[in-house]
């Protein structure tokens, strides 16, 4: 997050995210996060922050809370510089 460094291969990251979101059902699912992010154009996929409210004591943190009819869960990440 702080240095825009890849930690896992993009294909693996996509697979993990797809599996995570599939766990909650496909209808009447609600998502919550701690910011508003915009995808920036360029050679690498990056995101700019429009608004952000930290949820932890880390330098950077973000994630998603998911509430669905099948299950509820959270995926949260944090980083420091």
Q: Is the pTM of this model over 0.95?
A: no
Check: CB of residue 60 under 8 Å from CB of residue 79.
yes
Q: How far apart are CA 39 and CA 2, in angstroms?
A: 16
Report the pLDDT value the prediction gives residue 2, as an integer from 0 to 100. Answer: 61
Domain boundaries, the chain: 10-79
Report the pLDDT value the prediction gives residue 22, as an integer from 0 to 100. Answer: 93
Query: CA 3 from chain center: how many Å?
Result: 16
Residue 71: which pLDDT band, with cuts at 50, 70 and 90? very high
Residue 18: which pLDDT band, with cuts at 50, 70 and 90? very high
How much is the average pLDDT of 65-70?
A: 94
How much is the average pLDDT of 25-31?
A: 92
């Amino acid at each position: 997050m702080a240095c825009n460094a890849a930690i896992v291969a993009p294909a693996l990251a996509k697979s993990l995210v797809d599996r995570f979101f599939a766990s909650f059902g496909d209808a009447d699912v609600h998502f919550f996060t701690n910011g508003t992010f915009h995808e920036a154009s360029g050679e690498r996929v990056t995101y700019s922050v429009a608004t952000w409210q930290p949820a932890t004591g880390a330098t950077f943190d973000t994630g998603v809370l998911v509430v669905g009819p099948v299950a509820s869960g959270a995926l949260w990440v944090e980083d420091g510089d």
